[in-house]
A and B are shown apart, each in its own frame.
Chain A
Amino acid sequence: MFEQLAAYMQYPFVRYALIVGVLIALCSSLLGVTLVLKRFSFIGDGLSHVAFGAMAVAAVAGITNDMLIIMPVTIISAILLLRTGSNARIKGDAAVAMISVGALAIGYLLMNVFSTSSNVSGDVCTTLFGSTSILTLSELEVWVCIILSVIVVFAFIFFYNKIFSVTFDENFARATGTRVSIYNLIIAVIIAVIIVLAMNLVGSLLISALVIFPALSAMRVFKSFKSVTICSACLSVICAALGIIISIITPKGTPVGSTIVAVDIVVFFIFWLIGFIRERVR
């Protein structure tokens, strides 16, 4: 098996996939804890559907570099969604659901009506499930991904203590002079960037899994914010690497995105079991 793996490593596309996969998994797990606790588990889904809609618009308008549309549209949606927070008339979950299905529907509609390619359902399936696009990355895309990931990780470390305060108790933070709205804005931008990145890897339907599973697994076992964050980052990286390797070496070639999520699910159950047993023993 290892020889087989070593043989595959000769190909640049396998190396690219592993690098990009691991980096994206790392970034997406970082904010997972915050999102789960802020009751925004589904924001990954919502935003990625927005990105899907934006991608459809870009395709219809014939814009070749669709990042120019996808990134700003997704960032703006993220800011709007997270800003509504606790005081909005339409609550967080409803707002996310509304934007999510709305963007998905419009995107699919546009792709059908103004289709330029002959295989619409194939295209849609690819964007929704990621499928093979991670195996067809160009060197440029890999570099963009590396740079954005480094920025995300450094931003997270830099704002770590502020993210903690804002997540744990927004009112207290605001009352004692922390500029909460700015940090909420930063969190929203980081999330949007991560999601647009992650669309390549697992597609827009499965992004939420990448964001929340490692955080939920880590929360079963670890008790402090720091240990949960570190554990979920490690878990996410390991699961992504495993998932990619499995999907490459299985004879039939399983789809990358869903394989990673499947590994995440298995790990979640293992951690749930550990947490359960520890509670019983005490």
Chain B
Amino acid sequence: MAQLSCQNLTLGYEGKEILSNLSFEVNSGDYLCIVGENGSGKSTLMKTVLGLKKPMSGKVVTGDGLLQTEIGYLPQQTVVQKDFPASVREIVISGNQGRCGLRPFYTKQEKQRAAENIKRMGIDNLQNRCYRELSGGQQQRVLLARALCATQKMLLLDEPVAGLDPKVTADMYSLIEGLNKKDKITIIMISHDIEAALKYATHILHIGNEIFFGTRQQYLDSRFGAERGLL
């Protein structure tokens, strides 16, 4: 069974449809890129997958041992975070919060887990630094480490390279590729960057006036791929 399957989703807000009849499946170990123009409903789709928003019709089903709350999430930066006084360690460990229920403090294992993920993202030298003083790329790594505390199965990344310079962008992509290949974490990435999407992804979902879902090769063979060839 697929880890995540969206069945006949209709998305929109305040009664206005922006996407209809959207179906796709994500299997364990896949690397799916969601591409599409601004306003095509990428972030609405993301919120729906995360369970932050109800679809107007259709449903999102998780399976293969994945709970909806086990989807780790790398959001775009919010205004609040720009001047939030918090150390890197505090932010990473807060990724464990979902597991806590009513328990007020973090357990030893959860602290351990935070430390491991900090190391994994190569930011152990920044542990006690203040989040708002870090560079964009470093901040993304912190949020990625937090997302990894919340899940070991599936990550949803919302434009993870927005606003990063080319060098940092390349590092970020290879970091994500490592998580996908080595740690077998399913990746769903929302992206503007079709080049990179075609380089790393196994599957492509194109949303907009026309919806396409298929493997990378199918995408290249399709009308979209042909159009790219002309450009």
Contact = CB atoms under 8 A, between A and B. Distances in A.
> A and B bound?
yes
Interface of A: 33, 37-39, 157-162, 164-165, 167-169, 171-178, 218-219, 222-226, 228
B104 A223 contact: no
Interface in B98-134: 98-100, 104-106, 128-130, 133
Interface in B133-156: 133, 146-147, 150-151
Interface residues of B, number: 38
Given A168-B86, A219-B85, A223-B85, A176 B100 contact: no
Given A177-B69, A177-B99, A172 B75 contact: yes
* A157, A178, A226, most chain B CB atoms within 10 A: A178
* B98, B99, B129, B147, most chain A CB atoms within 10 A: B98
A15 B71 CA distance: 54
A172 B73 contact: yes
A226 B99 CA distance: 21
Nearest to B77: A169
B84 interface: yes
B202 interface: no
B50 A175 contact: yes
Contacts of B225: none
Contacts of B91: 168
28 contacts: A37-B84, A38-B80, A157-B104, A161-B105, A164-B94, A171-B47, A171-B50, A172-B147, A173-B97, A173-B98, A174-B51, A175-B52, A175-B71, A176-B71, A176-B97, A176-B98, A176-B150, A178-B98, A223-B87, A223-B130, A224-B86, A224-B87, A224-B90, A224-B128, A225-B87, A225-B90, A226-B90, A228-B85
B78 interface: yes
A37 B79 CA distance: 9
Contacts of A173: 94, 97-98
A165 B94 contact: yes
B72 interface: yes
B95 interface: yes
B81 interface: yes
A218 B130 CA distance: 14
A271 B78 CA distance: 26
Contacts of A39: 80
Interface of B: 47, 50-52, 67, 69-73, 75, 78, 80-81, 83-87, 90-91, 94-95, 97-100, 104-106, 128-130, 133, 146-147, 150-151
Contacts of B151: 176
A169 B97 CA distance: 12
Given A168-B80, A171-B73, A177-B67, 20 more contacts: A37-B84, A159-B104, A161-B94, A161-B104, A161-B105, A161-B106, A162-B97, A162-B100, A165-B94, A168-B81, A169-B75, A173-B94, A174-B50, A174-B52, A175-B52, A176-B73, A222-B85, A223-B133, A225-B84, A225-B85
Contacts of A158: 104
A109 B83 CA distance: 41
Given A168-B80, A224-B130, A176 B95 contact: yes
* B83, B85, B129, B147, most chain A CB atoms within 10 A: B85
* A168, A175, A228, most chain B CB atoms within 10 A: A175
Nearest to A226: B90
Nearest to B150: A176
B69 A176 contact: yes
A164 to B, nearest CB: 6
